[in-house]
Structure 1
Amino acid sequence: MRFWILGPMEIGGDDGTEAGPDGAATPAVSYTPRAAKLRVVLAALLVRANEVVSVESLIDELWQDNPPRTATTTLQVYVSQLRKLLHSADPEHGRDTLLTRPPGYLLRLEPDRLDMTTFEELHARGRKALEAEDYGSAAELQQRAIALWRGPLLSDTPHGPLLGGAAVRLTEARMTALDQRIRADLQLGRHRGLIAELQSLASDHPLREEFHAHLMVALYRTGRQAEALRTFGRVRRTLVDELAIEPGPRLQRLHRRILAGDAALLSSGGNSNGGVVLIGTATGTGSGAVDGPAQSLPERPAFQAVTSLPAADGAFTGRDGVLAEVERLLRDAPAGTSVAITGKSGVGKTALAVEAAHRSADAFPDGRIFLDLEPDPGRPLGAADAMTRLLRRAGTQVTLPAEAQDLQDALRDLLTDRRILLVLDNATSEAQLRPLLPATAGSTALITGRRLPAGLGGVRPVVLDALDPEESLRLFDALAGPGPAAAEPAAAAEIVELCGHLPLAVHIAAAQLRARPHWTAGSLAARLRDERSRLTELQLGDLDVRGTLMVAYLDSSPAAQRAFRLLGLLPAGPFGLWAAAAALGLEEGEAGRIVENLVDGRLLEASVHDGLRQGRYHFHELLRILATELLATEETPESARAATERMCEAYTQAAERADAALTPRPVTGPVAVPGPVTDHPQEWFAREHPALVHAVRAAHTAGLWSAVLRLVDAMTGYLEAHASWADWRTTHTFALDAARHSGDRVGEARMLRSLGDLAWQNRRLAEAADLYTQARDTAELCDDPYEYGRALVGLADLHLDNGDTSAAAALLEPALAALAAPARARGRYDALRALALLALEAEGPEAAQARFTQCLDLATALKDRRLEAYARRALRALRDPAPAAGKPTDLEVRPGIWRLRAPAPRRSPLPAPGRLAALTA
């Protein structure tokens, strides 16, 4: 188990942890607690690892001056939760790591398990090497120590007095390590490569005289005496203006020596005193002098450090975790490795790469060079052209025409023994990239592109996804200004949701509000709601979401383009490969290859296996809209209709089999549907529920009347059992219209009766009566005894609601007669249920018990667990003691449907009991 606190907190187990030898890496599987209070407790124990931290100190860290009355108990709960977390990370030893030791707690930890202690050990070794004048080891050790930092100490954890003190101490230690590494590098003659880094440090830390002194020496040694003197002028003005003091005596002495053109400063001999580098004479005069520069990095006077990066984006927001990961990978890149940022178009790959390059400036003091490998969409640079541009941006003269091998040799010579970062944007292929990648230590490449260059060795990928909702809101606020979001926070949240949290879309939406002050967040959200025009709305000047997304589409093969269009027919949200194969009209194996090709091109996204062990895919929302647009404009109506028919047939077959698994009955048709349909029908229905509703709507739009009816029939049992009233009404209304369009009177009666059941459950009794009456009349007209009997049962239920037992009995008699045939057993069960309720109202519990026993026997014969469970519950309820006089009771009138039943005087016996008894015998 390892811990990282030099930056955001991370906890990783030994398994699956991508850690370097010093523990600098973060875990592949994180166990970091999400709750801030838990992180505070763990952080306090980590910065004092192997020491007892008192309860009082921990309470003070958690709540400062305002602890709750239950502070001690709450802390004990936090400690218990941490022990569980540590056990999850390390099942063998995790719980024993956190011990109770009066007057508090102790976190027992090996030094190499915590990046803080690793940093302190490397820093101490580097200091000793510097004192021993072993400058090569000193520079290496301090650089390794500095590379462990991923950001401010515990940057994601609130700081109290204990953590605040530790942050001050460790930040100062970090700065000291950086100072000592630079001093060692200067002694090694690396002054030319330090200039860019020192300029950044002097700007970031304007009051730290040692960095200005280092910069002055480095500039002077490279022949830039005037710039060295200007550096002194700047730091002097800063100190006078802010602190009303002059620079220290050592910095002033250095200034005088540069002003005098002291040749002794050009050598690497010197001393270090008080943290400020003071260069001694060529013969090594002064304290701690050394003679002669090291030869590890040969000087090449013709090369000047170059920075050819786009300006940092001041509005860059979020991405903290992935940005830290990219920066860590760049700083720790072994020889011959590179970092690749991949993701869909518009997701912000270039912006992230540029930001990471700026933040990693100190790791690449010899230069950072940016090159767009596809400056014109669809026209990528060839390898020779790319190498030529890189060399020219580095200041290397290139005479054209030049042989590719000559260019590659020149680029290799440029990168060898230097620390240069190449930012290669919009990479399109391995062949384009291969000649450009550094092969020696020190330099590396940061690649962006939609496709991962998997064919290249040593590529460490970072997959970039859309922003999370909080990040996209922060980005929208930063770009649109605080006014629109603050005035209408709900509308702002809706805007970023409609943008699919895609950074480019959020940028454009915010720019729309800036460009049109008369718009509001609410009016923009209203414009974006319509999917048919959303991509058109997300366009402003040369910023165009549709155009950006189309680049990936146009780069795909014709087969992949057609698949992209047809998959736009599938429901929004995740879908299985079986559904994709149906829409494409292919076998699953061939469909899988095309779908994975779309995933590689970032036109489709793959989900991890779900609980049913099924691979899933989904569109980003804006890509789904693009697919729908292209389907309408580039696919023939006949092709789109055929694909819709295949898709609806696949969902229908799957739903029929899932329904049959829940309610056993024969099902016709092929078995080409996934195993979980029949193995886990409840879970399958719950997961595919929205997709099935979409398929019903699509089938209705396409005029596939039979498919609509079959699919709705298969869904009815699940919708009823789970009281999915809104989707029940939607789907059955479509099905009723489909039945009427196709002249299917039996289907019409069935849908009318089911909609009557829905209205009855929702207590819309007048509507229920009308629907049941229409269902009865339609069933009678088409001679359908089953639906005729079911409609009569529905009308009987309405009479039972009103306490009219005579009218209910009069309806149940013909209902039982209509449902007498064995093939109508399910409807007969419903009639027996109503008859049992009638008996309860008219004759009492004993009579009802006999009827419910008949229900139980019939449900058992049908092998319908839901109906069987209902009958058993009813029988148990009848055996329970009677409620107190005048107290209402719950009555389960249909499976899962309860109604309060007030006690009423016993009514007269049922009319014609003998006839009803004969019907139910």
Structure 2
Amino acid sequence: MSDPVFRILGPLEVQTSAVDLAPLPPGRHEIVLGALLIEANRVVRVDQLIDAIWYDDPPATARTQVQICVSGLRQHLAPLGQDVSIVTRSPGYILRVARDQVDAHLFAELVAESDVLAREGRREEASQRIRRALDLWRGFALSGTQSRVLQAKAAQLDEKRLSAIETYTELELVLGRHHRVIDDIGPLVTEHPLRERLRGQLMLALYRAGRQADALRAYRDGRQVLVDQLGLEPGEELRRLERAILAGDAGLRPETPVAVTAPTPIAAPAAQEVTPRLLPPDLSDFTGRGDLVELLEAQLTGADRRDAPVAILTGKPGVGKTSLALHVAHRVRDAFPDGQLYADLSGTRTEPASPVDVLDCFLRNLGLPGEAIPDGLDARTETFRGLLAGRRMLIILDDAHSDTQISALLPAAPSCGVVVTTRTRLTGQPWATIVEVEVMDDEQSLRLLGAVIGEARLAAEPAAADALIRLVGGLPLALRVVAARLAARPHWSLAWMRERLADERRRLDELAHGSLMVRASLALSYDGLEPDARRMLRMLSGLDAVTLPVWAGSSLLEIDLFRASDLLEVLVDVQLLEIAAVDLNGSPRYKFHEIIRLFAREQLELDESPQARMDELTRVAGGWLSLAQEAHRRIYGGDYTVVLGGAPLSPPPHSYVTQVLTDPLRWLEAERANLCAAVAQAAKAGADELAWSLAVALVALFETRCYYEDWERTHTQALAAAQSAANHRGTAALLCSLGSLHLSRSRLDEAEQVIVPALAGFAELGDVAGTALARRNLALLHQLRREGTRAMAGYQESLADFATIGDPIGQAHVLSQMAQLELAAQSLEPAAAYLHRALALSRGIGTRRVESQVRYRLSGLLMSQGRHEDAEDLLADVLELVQSAGDVVGHGRILHRLGVINARLGRGREAQRLLREALAVRQQVLDRQGVADIRAELAKLALDPSLDPV
């Protein structure tokens, strides 16, 4: 087989003895050729080539420049003949070339052939084949090529080389050539100290060469690197190998006899009382948790106790329960001089450790010979507790599965202490202290990150460091992965790590380093769930809600509330959900840690079809829509002053609705973040009818509490969906509502731009309710522009429309505005008539909010009649109403009017107090005109000598 023409396993080279080739132009030509060679005989898209050359900053002429590069490469490679060609194939280019003429592809073929030979038992041939593959390498893949994209692909090739070296080393060890292995991989272990498989192979080779001390030193060196850089202990396989080397295990001998003097076997000790020291090492960079450390130390070493103290550490996956337990254990070990026992109970694995097997290990470590260990759980538990009687011993039970698993492992002697870690909430040990281990706060997270990567590096990029902590949500395992990757790549900036984590779709891919894998940690808990609980978790993750009520889980799985509650509590017990708050009916609300949500969404996309995901959104958003519309009805006394959409409703159980909507504005306030998120998610998913219906149903909240940003954001999102779907009614309803928003904020030109097309849209649809609302808004626009005649005409038309559809609240609103026009013209009798009609309509429906608005208008009439004390009395009653309803706008207006009344009655000090309160409220709601009016009143107060001193 001839040498490859194209070589990328090192600096990019094109070499052939058959023809003379000019040197390849560096820069773009080299990058494009490298990208084509990596994907030889496969299409490489033009946009991929653009990314490889310019990454995220391509020029406008990028495609043209790529075409020029490809043309230049074709000319450069022309002397190689028809065996090599660059073919245009939509949407990019293919480099046609025999696979054995590209060293990277030849390398892959040789490794694959070696694998087949090894499986057939032809190990010598397999070793030779993979050796040939490794000889193709001349350095790091594509070294010297200046492209982020190609560097990432080159790193994958480098990783394949290291994997091939490990496979080759395995074959050489099987063939008994451990002396050669030592020379081959010794330098590589130094270069890649975190590769545990490679280090284990070196340890085995050294041991077989009779260098037991060097083999153990290699282990200790590797452990120190892992602890220093990652804060982790070696994996179980490497620890098992170390124990085997210490014991001179005969199983470590090679299959092929070699001339190595075996170590003299050590005679087994006679049965005796021993002091076991089984604690894994403490983390050298353990950070934070000071309050928990202090609590656990006091629990374990307190003098006055009748039973063995048991501390159960519970928390979500990756929160650092084991690290905390071991740190505390090392701090208190002197208080337990008779020894420390440790067991990994494998509670999150498919087959948790059996208490019978754990007791066998404990009894042997306590000095009991194997032949003296009894059969059966009860007998072993009795023997274990008997051996511990009167002894001061610490026991660490890591990753417990259940109360049943640990019960037999707990000592009876009060002189002992126990620390249990678990992801499950264990409640069967009533005397135990339950310690919730939470995620780290920002300060602790920064200290952990700095301990691994260095304080100087942290201080150089404080904003990026803060962003990294937010992206992993303070989860210690995720933080350690980030820190480990940064420590292993000192040339990476924190900002670059932040960019890699920013894409939610890739975040869990990025949170993996060696044996540290956030996804794998979460999968252990997820895989152990019953099918319904797994489905509940992944379906919940599909919602963008901030917190999740029980009814949402019920709606998602179409099950009753109590079954949904049971499943949600299972997820809480295994730390995959958190309790966020208590709902207005007293039931819990739940939330995700963001990393767990991302994991659950991966499972959602794997296991649920797009249609199922749309159905779940429709059901839950339909539930929120049903509740929001019912809240509107209770505020206004019916479906008044609102355009209702035709989105499907999924009402929660009637008992829930009755309980939470006793105070509808309070419910809307509590649910605001979720309701806004539901609008955004429905709009993004193309559920236009749901999006606009829910958006307009929330206006009572937005208007009353002055959530103007939410009002504009939800309506803009829903409007984009409605317009995209040619939903004319939804478009008109949203434009009309946006008109109300702009009028509230005195944006008159913007208001006109949306109200006019809204009115036209409703008129074309023949929608009388919508037309009435749009005409009312247009009349108010004329009124604010001081166009009284046009405003009155518009109100008359709107009033007739509201009367036609039987909307008394709409009529009351319009009559109040007509009264305002008459008051401005000093026509007091018509104004009084309109207001009394409005008051009768609002009282007939029983809506105190609308009634308070009408009574506020009546106070203005009384002031115009010179009846300031009567107006003051009326407003005092109205003030209580708006305060109890949380009506911020109304509160500011009433305080303002009370201040004016007090000024006219000569009470300067009280007027000033009320106006200043009003000023603060109106500034809060960004009422620019109201703020200006109040400041003018305060200025007049300061200059009027007839008033009492201010």
Shorter-chain TM-score category? 0.5 to 0.7
User: What does the per-residue CA deviation read over 1:343-374, in whole Å, with 9 as the maximum and x for residues that have no partner?
Assistant: 11111110111011112123211111222122
Does structure 1 residue 367 correspond to structure 2 residue 331? no
Aligned pairs for 1:574-653 (under 5 A) are 574-607=547-580, 609=582, 613-653=586-626
Does structure 1 residue 567 correspond to structure 2 residue 540? yes
Quote how far apart the aligned CAs of 1:322 are. Answer: 1.9
8 A contact 2:271–2:369 mirrored in 1: no
- Pairing partner for 2:500 from 527, 532, 556: 527
Cα distance in structure 2, aligned partners of 1:352 and 1:609: 30
Quote how far apart the aligned CAs of 1:673 are. Answer: 3.3
8 A contact 1:579–1:651 mirrored in 2: no
8 A contact 2:388–2:411 mirrored in 1: yes
The answer to which of 472-481 and 546-555 deviates more is 472-481
- Pairing partner for 2:733 from 742, 747, 750: 750
Cα distance in structure 1, aligned partners of 2:819 and 2:349: 74
Quote how far apart the aligned CAs of 1:451 are. Answer: 1.4
Cα distance in structure 2, aligned partners of 1:454 and 1:815: 64
Q: What TM-score does the superposition give when structure 2 sets the normalisation length?
A: 0.58
Quote how far apart the aligned CAs of 1:413 are. Answer: 4.1
Task: Supply the AA of the counterpart residue of 1:371.
Answer: A
Task: Supply the AA of the counterpart residue of 1:373.
Answer: L
Cα distance in structure 2, aligned partners of 1:339 and 1:810: 77
Aligned to 2:698: 715
- Pairing partner for 1:839 from 822, 828, 848: 822
8 A contact 1:676–1:684 mirrored in 2: no
User: What does the per-residue CA deviation read over 1:674-731, in whole Å, with 9 as the maximum and x for residues that have no partner?
Assistant: 4443212222111111111222233334443443343223212112222222222232
Does structure 1 residue 766 correspond to structure 2 residue 749? yes
Aligned to 1:349: 321
Cα distance in structure 2, aligned partners of 1:375 and 1:750: 55
User: What does the per-residue CA deviation read over 1:789-812, in whole Å, with 9 as the maximum and x for residues that have no partner?
Assistant: 322232232233332333333433
Cα distance in structure 2, aligned partners of 1:735 and 1:822: 26
Cα distance in structure 2, aligned partners of 1:546 and 1:506: 13
Q: Give the SS at the match of 1:826.
A: helix
CA separation of 1:642 and 1:539: change in aligned 2, threshold 3 A = same
CA separation of 1:589 and 1:824: change in aligned 2, threshold 3 A = same
CA separation of 1:366 and 1:656: change in aligned 2, threshold 3 A = same
Cα distance in structure 1, aligned partners of 2:561 and 2:932: 58
Quote how far apart the aligned CAs of 1:842 are. Answer: 3.6
Aligned to 1:295: none
Higher helix proportion, which one?
2
Aligned to 1:3: none
The answer to which of 513-522 and 661-670 deviates more is 661-670
Cα distance in structure 2, aligned partners of 1:348 and 1:766: 57
Aligned pairs for 1:149-228 (under 5 A) are none
Cα distance in structure 1, aligned partners of 2:612 and 2:435: 38
CA separation of 1:713 and 1:513: change in aligned 2, threshold 3 A = same
Cα distance in structure 2, aligned partners of 1:873 and 1:480: 64
CA separation of 1:654 and 1:511: change in aligned 2, threshold 3 A = same
CA separation of 1:698 and 1:672: change in aligned 2, threshold 3 A = farther
Structure 2 runs not aligned, ≥5 long: 1-269, 641-648, 869-899, 905-910, 934-950
8 A contact 1:649–1:707 mirrored in 2: yes
Aligned to 1:325: 295
8 A contact 1:335–1:440 mirrored in 2: yes
Quote how far apart the aligned CAs of 1:328 are. Answer: 2.0
Aligned to 1:248: none
Does structure 1 residue 493 correspond to structure 2 residue 466? yes
Cα distance in structure 2, aligned partners of 1:393 and 1:730: 65
CA separation of 1:857 and 1:526: change in aligned 2, threshold 3 A = farther
8 A contact 2:636–2:809 mirrored in 1: no
Aligned to 2:443: 470
Quote how far apart the aligned CAs of 1:618 are. Answer: 1.8
Aligned to 1:386: 358
Quote how far apart the aligned CAs of 1:751 are. Answer: 1.6
User: What does the per-residue CA deviation read over 1:212-250, in whole Å, with 9 as the maximum and x for residues that have no partner?
Assistant: xxxxxxxxxxxxxxxxxxxxxxxxxxxxxxxxxxxxxxx
Q: Give the SS at the match of 1:391.
A: helix
8 A contact 1:658–1:677 mirrored in 2: no
CA separation of 1:698 and 1:589: change in aligned 2, threshold 3 A = same
Does structure 1 residue 736 correspond to structure 2 residue 766? no
Quote how far apart the aligned CAs of 1:578 are. Answer: 1.5
8 A contact 1:309–1:369 mirrored in 2: yes
8 A contact 2:423–2:575 mirrored in 1: yes
Does structure 1 residue 427 correspond to structure 2 residue 427? no
CA separation of 1:827 and 1:519: change in aligned 2, threshold 3 A = farther
- Pairing partner for 2:667 from 681, 684, 694: 684
Q: Give the SS at the match of 2:690.
A: helix
Cα distance in structure 1, aligned partners of 2:591 and 2:597: 9
Structure 1 runs not aligned, ≥5 long: 1-299, 904-921
- Pairing partner for 2:284 from 314, 336, 347: 314
Task: Supply the AA of the counterpart residue of 2:929.
Answer: R
8 A contact 2:549–2:583 mirrored in 1: no
- Pairing partner for 2:853 from 861, 867, 870: 870
Cα distance in structure 2, aligned partners of 1:380 and 1:671: 43
CA separation of 1:757 and 1:388: change in aligned 2, threshold 3 A = same
CA separation of 1:727 and 1:577: change in aligned 2, threshold 3 A = same
Task: Supply the AA of the counterpart residue of 2:502.
Answer: R
8 A contact 2:522–2:596 mirrored in 1: yes
8 A contact 1:567–1:584 mirrored in 2: no
Aligned to 1:192: none
User: What does the per-residue CA deviation read over 1:398-418, in whole Å, with 9 as the maximum and x for residues that have no partner?
Assistant: 359963456445533432221
Q: Give the SS at the match of 1:422.
A: strand
Quote how far apart the aligned CAs of 1:662 are. Answer: 1.9
8 A contact 1:313–1:355 mirrored in 2: yes
- Pairing partner for 1:793 from 773, 776, 795: 776
Cα distance in structure 1, aligned partners of 2:502 and 2:657: 35
Task: Count residues in correspondence.
Answer: 601
Q: Give the SS at the match of 1:448.
A: strand
Does structure 1 residue 339 correspond to structure 2 residue 339? no
8 A contact 2:762–2:771 mirrored in 1: yes
Task: Supply the AA of the counterpart residue of 1:575.
Answer: L
CA separation of 1:673 and 1:732: change in aligned 2, threshold 3 A = farther
CA separation of 1:854 and 1:377: change in aligned 2, threshold 3 A = same
Cα distance in structure 2, aligned partners of 1:902 and 1:706: 40
Q: Give the SS at the match of 2:395.
A: strand
User: What does the per-residue CA deviation read over 1:294-336, in whole Å, with 9 as the maximum and x for residues that have no partner?
Assistant: xxxxxx9933433221222232222222222222222245335
8 A contact 1:790–1:830 mirrored in 2: no
Aligned pairs for 1:805-816 (under 5 A) are 805-816=788-799
Quote how far apart the aligned CAs of 1:900 are. Answer: 4.4
User: What does the per-residue CA deviation read over 1:465-503, in whole Å, with 9 as the maximum and x for residues that have no partner?
Assistant: 222333333333333322344234343333222212211
Task: Supply the AA of the counterpart residue of 2:328.
Answer: A
User: What does the per-residue CA deviation read over 1:181-221, in whole Å, with 9 as the maximum and x for residues that have no partner?
Assistant: xxxxxxxxxxxxxxxxxxxxxxxxxxxxxxxxxxxxxxxxx
Q: Give the SS at the match of 1:340.
A: strand
8 A contact 2:348–2:525 mirrored in 1: no
Task: Supply the AA of the counterpart residue of 1:483.
Answer: A
Cα distance in structure 1, aligned partners of 2:350 and 2:372: 25
8 A contact 2:582–2:588 mirrored in 1: yes
Task: Supply the AA of the counterpart residue of 1:826.
Answer: I
Aligned pairs for 1:238-277 (under 5 A) are none
Q: Give the SS at the match of 1:606.
A: strand
